[in-house]
Structure 1
Amino acid sequence: MALSIKIVLGHTLDTANITKNALAREAKVRPNLIYDLCEGKTKRLDLDTLNNIINTLRSMTGNDYSLTDVLVYGPEDK
């Protein structure tokens, strides 16, 4: 069974009731980056940007978000 990294940011935003545009604005990143992440179109993600997204989620909600709220490693979708 092959494993892969999946982006689950869209699910996290839905659960937190945060829009993609609101996250992009607060994190000071391009909205297209957030949309591409949520749609699984991103192949590379800068670690500083990833850190910024997680810290912004924390500051927007007051909840303790971590890497697994943005990325997961699991079985590859077929």
Structure 2
Amino acid sequence: MRLGDTLDAASVTKNALAREAKVRPNLIYDLCEGKTKRLDLDTLNNIVNTLRAMTGNDYTLTDVLEYIPDDDKG
């Protein structure tokens, strides 16, 4: 996942994003650690839009997620 790197670059804490996006902090932590198995698209959209609103930067889905095929996960 790329969310952790994006948050670091934007100087936004995981807790601040969770609070502003009104999602569980554990969800943000799991996303940053690549531990999320399933994610609702509305929630993902909310996270990206909240990050954009908090920073004024034009973030997109690729700033939050990275696709890694199963055979590349090791």
User: So what's the TM-score if we normalise by structure 1?
Assistant: 0.86
- Give 2:10's aligned amino acid: A
Q: Report the 3-state secondary structure (helix = DSSP H, G, I; strand = E; otherwise coil) of the residue aligned with 2:66.
A: strand
Q: Hey, what does 2:16 align to over in structure 1?
A: 22
**Following TM superposition, by how much is the alpha carbon of 1:74 offset from its aligned partner in structure 2, in angstroms?**
4.5
Q: Report the 3-state secondary structure (helix = DSSP H, G, I; strand = E; otherwise coil) of the residue aligned with 1:73.
A: coil
C-alpha RMSD over aligned residues: 1.2
Whether 1:54 aligns to 2:45 is no
The runs of 5 or more residues in structure 2 that have no matched partner are none
Which structure has greater strand proportion? 1
**Following TM superposition, by how much is the alpha carbon of 1:73 offset from its aligned partner in structure 2, in angstroms?**
2.4
Q: Hey, what does 2:65 align to over in structure 1?
A: 71
Q: Hey, what does 2:27 align to over in structure 1?
A: 33
| Identical-pair percentage | 81
Provide, for residues 8-60 of structure 1, a one-character-per-residue CA deviation record: whole Å limited to 9, x for no partner.
10010001010000000000000000011111110111000000000000000
Which structure has greater helix proportion? 2
Q: Which has the higher contact order (CA 8 A, sep 6+)?
A: 1
Q: Report the 3-state secondary structure (helix = DSSP H, G, I; strand = E; otherwise coil) of the residue aligned with 1:29.
A: coil
